[in-house]
């Protein structure tokens, strides 16, 4: 007897279980959408493969042999487990529950996503959110992510996307720095200032500041380069120079007077903030719930 069941054997097992439960090949066939002959032949092929007779066949009755009773106990349990798995999958598809793996840029994750997680959990207590805070661009499908939050211009990746809003920036410095070095009136004035830049982890290169209209006369020479967005804000607050950072990163510092915006008429957005997911993933209830919930929360902070 082979220890490995084929797909054909599985269809025979289903036909066998249905025959035991219904008492005839005709009734089993009706249950499975087959003819009585097809149900009987499926069981016969299973018997040939296993090398045992599974059913007593008489003109008046049909019932399991001793070997058939042993097999039926196991098959009935397997089919019951499969039905339960199907039921759970149906629930997962229609009610937000299960594990949700998400890639989120570090600063936006700390400033916007993480503070809103408690509210999300209250609304969807059966969703386990697994968040990876990283500024690297992950492969959503290959790395097994349900969703990714992306900043800037989107590449043509074949993923589904929902644009949440513009990725707006603030150019700013501390009041003490501006009192000492003066306030730049146009981007060209930045050539005489200390400019602190962010270094992208994907390329290792410093960012390029975005301005609309008038541009600096020549590329600005960085006075400092940091690989952490929140460190840029700290550097500016301490008076080290001028930074250009996302609005949500320095919103509270600007309101509190720790930082002063400059070049407000010139500072431009850099692409958009978007949620990305694999095709058809949004049909899963937990993914759909996260998209709808956080698109609103993130948009309100941009």
Q: Give the domain CATH number at 207.
A: 3.40.190.10
> Does residue 2 form part of some domain?
no
Do 51 and 140 share a structural domain?
no
The distance in angstroms from the start CA to the end CA of the chain is: 66
| Contact in structure between 169 and 267 (CB atoms under 8 Å) | yes
Same domain, 264 and 278: no
pLDDT, mean of each 10-residue run, the chain (302 residues) = 58 87 87 87 88 83 86 88 76 76 93 93 92 90 92 82 93 96 92 90 85 70 85 94 94 96 93 90 86 91 84
Q: φ and ψ at 194, to 5 degrees?
A: -85, 115
* 172 and 261 housed in the same domain: yes
Answer yes or no: do 27 and 157 share one domain.
no
Q: Indicate which CATH number applies to the domain containing 77.
A: 1.10.10.10
Cα separations in angstroms, 47 against 41, 43, 64, 219: 10, 6, 12, 80
The residues, any chain, with a CB within 8 Å of residue 279's CB and separated by 6 or more, are: 158, 159, 160
Q: How far apart are CA 188 and CA 195, in angstroms?
A: 12
At 216, which helix (H) or strand (E)? none
Domain count, the chain: 3
Does one domain contain both 147 and 174? no
d(CA 194, CA 299): 32
The reported pLDDT for the residue numbered 56 is 87
Residue 196 lies in a domain: yes
Q: What is the rounded radius of gyration, in angstroms, for the C-alpha atoms of the chain?
A: 32
User: Which pLDDT does position 92 carry in this prediction?
Assistant: 58
pTM of the model: 0.65
Question: Burial level of 147, CB count in 10 A (0-12/13-18/19+)?
Answer: buried
Q: Are residues 184 and 267 in the same domain?
A: yes
Same domain, 78 and 202: no
**Sign of the torsion formed by the C-alpha atoms of 144, 147, 149 and 152:** positive
Q: Are residues 266 and 293 in the same domain?
A: no
232 in the same domain as 86: no
Nearest CA to 163 out of 13, 5, 299 is that of: 299
Same domain as 159, residue 277: yes
Alpha-carbon distances of 51 from 17, 55, 68, 143, rounded to whole Å: 17, 13, 12, 45
Give pLDDT, residue 46. Answer: 87
> Which residue, of 68, 93, 118, is where some domain finishes?
93
Domain boundary among 73, 93, 113: 93
Would residue 1 count as lying in a domain?
no
Is residue 24 a part of any domain in this protein? yes
Element (H, E) at 145: none
One domain for residues 40 and 83:
yes
Measured in degrees and rounded to the nearest 5, phi and psi for residue 183 equal -100, 125
Q: Where are the alpha helices (DSSP H) in 51-174?
A: 66-94, 106-108, 114-123
Residues 6 or more apart whose CB falls under 8 angstroms from that of 163 comprise 272, 273, 274
8 Å CB contact between 282 and 227: no
Same domain, 108 and 124: yes
Inside any domain, residue 64: yes
Q: b/e for 123-144, b at 16 or more Cβ within 10 A?
A: ebeebebebeeebebbebeeee
User: Whole-angstrom Cα distance, residue 207 to residue 98?
Assistant: 38
Q: Name the residue range of residue 288's domain.
A: 102-163+273-299
Domain assignment of residue 44, yes or no: yes
């Amino acid at each position: 007897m082979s220890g490995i069941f084929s797909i054909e054997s599985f269809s025979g097992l289903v036909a066998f279980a249905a025959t035991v439960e219904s008492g005839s090949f005709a009734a089993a066939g009706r249950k499975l959408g087959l003819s009585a002959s097809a149900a009987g032949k499926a069981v016969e092929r299973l018997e040939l493969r296993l090398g045992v007779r599974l059913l007593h066949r008489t003109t008046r009755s049909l019932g399991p042999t001793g070997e058939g009773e042993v097999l039926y106990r196991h098959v009935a349990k397997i089919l019951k487990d499969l039905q339960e798995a199907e039921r759970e999958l149906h629930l997962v598809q229609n009610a937000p529950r299960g594990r949700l793996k998400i890639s989120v840029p570090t600063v936006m994750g700390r400033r916007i996503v993480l503070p809103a997680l408690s509210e999300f959990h209250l609304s969807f207590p059966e969703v386990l959110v697994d968040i990876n805070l990283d500024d690297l661009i992950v492969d959503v499908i290959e790395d097994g992510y349900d969703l990714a939050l992306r900043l800037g211009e989107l590449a043509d990746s074949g993923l589904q996307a929902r644009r949440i809003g513009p990725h707006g920036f603030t150019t700013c410095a501390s009041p003490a720095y501006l009192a000492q070095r003066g306030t730049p009136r146009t981007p060209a004035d930045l050539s005489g200032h200390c400019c602190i830049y962010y270094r992208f982890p994907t390329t290792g290169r410093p960012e390029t500041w975005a301005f609309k209209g008038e541009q600096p006369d020549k590329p600005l020479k960085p006075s400092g380069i940091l690989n952490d967005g929140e460190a840029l804000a700290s550097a500016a607050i301490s008076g080290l120079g001028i930074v250009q950072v996302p609005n949500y990163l320095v919103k509270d510092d600007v309101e509190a007077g720790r930082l002063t915006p400059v070049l407000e008429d010139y500072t431009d957005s850099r692409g958009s903030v978007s949620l990305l997911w694999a095709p058809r993933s949004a049909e899963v209830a937990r993914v759909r719930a996260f998209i709808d919930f956080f698109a609103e929360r993130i948009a309100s902070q941009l």
